[in-house]
Amino acid sequence: MSILKKKKVIIPLVVIAMGAFAGYSFAMPKQTIKQKIDGTLYVLPKQFTLNLAGGQYATLTVALQLAPTQSVGVINPNDPPPTGFGSLTDEAVIRAIITNDVTGNSPSLLITATGRNTLEAKILRDITSQTDTQVTKVYFTDLAVQ
């Protein structure tokens, strides 16, 4: 077989293979990357210092994972919230819930991961039942017990 005949056979095969690959690539569904955090993380601006059982106290910072449909709100420069408060409408109630749920507990509850998870779940239930803010998870981001 001559070189010219080989080229006539090989070139169309290469073009067909390239077209098939391109068609396959475009037909494949695009991979969607699932976000690990679904929604917005909102860190309550002012940390908590709360009394625990036995005369000890805890200092903690709390973050809320807001549902994707939950707005963080906008701060009006003409009417800002009190110092240490953010833009959530129910923030004062949420802070009161956290204060009530943590105050008086045993320090060991906050020291263990299981205890913290239990307390975070209780705070989440109380926020869900007592406010209109759509929260999906509560996090203690910083914590010190003394």
Q: How much of the chain, in percent, has pLDDT values that exceed 70?
A: 71
Q: What is the pLDDT of residue 70?
A: 83
Apex 86 CA angle, 107 and 70, nearest 5: 95
Residue 15 lies in a domain: no
Residue 128 lies in a domain: yes
Write out pLDDT tens, residues 22-49: 666 666 667 777 777 778 899 999 999 9
Write out pLDDT tens, residues 119-132: 999 999 999 999 99
Question: What's the CATH code of the domain at 134?
Answer: 3.30.479.30
Kindly state the tokens that stand for 42.
């909102």
Residue 114 lies in a domain: yes
Residue 3 lies in a domain: no
Q: What is the pLDDT of residue 34?
A: 74
Residue 107 lies in a domain: yes
Q: What is the pLDDT of residue 113?
A: 95
From CA 67, how far away is CA 39, in angstroms rounded? 5
Average pLDDT rounded to a whole number, residues 1-13: 60
Residue 69 lies in a domain: yes
Q: What is the pLDDT of residue 36?
A: 75
Write out pLDDT tens, residues 50-81: 999 999 999 999 999 999 888 777 666 666 66
Total of domains in the chain:
1
Which range marks the domain in which residue 119 is found? 40-145
Q: What is the pLDDT of residue 1?
A: 54
Greater pLDDT, 6 or 43: 43
Residue 131 lies in a domain: yes
Residue 14 lies in a domain: no
